[in-house]
Structure formats: structure tokens, C-alpha cells
Amino acid sequence: MKIKIIKYKSVKSTNNTAIRRIKYFKQPIIIYSESQKKGKGTMGKIWISKKGNLFLSILFEFNPAKVSFKQHAVLNAYLVRKILQKYVIKRIKIKWPNDLLIEKKKVCGILQEVINYKNKNFLIVGIGVNTCTFPKIVNYKISSLKDYSNKKVNNDKILKDIKKIYEKFIYDIKKYNFFRIKKSLK
């Protein structure tokens, strides 16, 4: 299933931009922005979006009877970790439900939102990755991929890798079941 990438220079939030695009939905899309002013985190928290990092949201239609919201959360963490692991020399761990950590420091956050529009369910997967820099927050351990990499971390390459893996994932999720896909990601 092909995914279209829509690029912006700046948005308030890639998830909010994806929500506004639902009424024009024809195929899965990735909303990518070079910067975002009000990134969203879980439970109403904010995602501090430092310039130069990676901000995107993936929008696709989904069937919660086939694969639940919770199962998607598991799969999304595995998918994103699989992509990012290629860039770092340390192991990336998943802190459920939505954080990716290296040496107990957050490098990526994943936010899922379900939107029902005209009796169809849409899943928006927001992904924020500290690729080259990170915010300084007191009493909160944060880092970037660059700090654990022995090669150049390239946002465009990561974006292409995410697009490719999600094209396969969206196709497979319609064809296969959750447990088969999860097993293939380990």
C-alpha cells in the first residue's frame, strides 16, 4: 500500500495537521515537518521539538476489530525501533507504551490517536525523534540518536525507511494477523 508524503516547513503539530487532512483521505499519508511549534505528547503533555530533529505523523484507515488500538501501539514501537536501531551502536529499549530509550534516556516518543470520521476509523501515529539534538529538562533523561551513532544520522533517510516499513505494515495488517507481524519484528 503506497503512502504519500506531504512535507511542510513548519506546523503547530504534525498530528493536528493529519487530523485536518482526514476529510481529504484517499490513501495513507505521512505528514512531515521540519519544525513544529506545539508538538503533542501523551496525556496532554507537549513534545518539545528542537530544530533539526524528526517530526512526522502517519495517517491510515484501520479496523479495530482486526487489530486493536493497543496492538497497534505495540507494533508501532517495534516498527520505529527497528528503523532507528540501524543508526545507533547501543540497544534501543521500548518503555511502554510509547517511548524509545537508549541507556534509559528518551530519544523517541510515539503518540497514537484514533479519529472516527464518516463511520470510518483512522489511526494517526505521531513520531518525534531526537535525531541530532534534545531539549534540556530538569530531572528528565533525554538524548539524541547522534550521541549513540557511529555514522551520520539523516532525517530524510529515516523518513524514507519509515515510509517503506509502514507501506509493508499497512499492507500486511490487512492480509495477516497481529501475532504474525509482531513475531517477524523480533
Which residue ranges make up each domain of the chain? Answer: 4-185
Question: Per-residue confidence at 172, pLDDT binned at 50, 70, 90?
Answer: confident
Nearest C-alpha neighbor of 129 from the set 24, 114, 60, 149: 149
The CATH fold of domain 4-185: BirA Bifunctional Protein; domain 2 (3.30.930)
Which residues on neighbouring strands pair with residue 7, listed in sequence order?
32
Which residues on neighbouring strands pair with residue 102, listed in sequence order?
92, 105
pLDDT higher for 171 or 6? 6
Q: How many CB atoms lie within 10 A of CB 129?
A: 25
With a CB cutoff of 8 Å and minimum separation 6, the contacts of 183 are none
Question: Per-residue confidence at 6, pLDDT binned at 50, 70, 90?
Answer: very high
Q: What pLDDT sits at residue 76?
A: 92
Q: How many CB atoms lie within 10 A of CB 150?
A: 7
User: Taking the model in full, what pTM does it have?
Assistant: 0.90
67 CB-side CA count, 13 A: 25
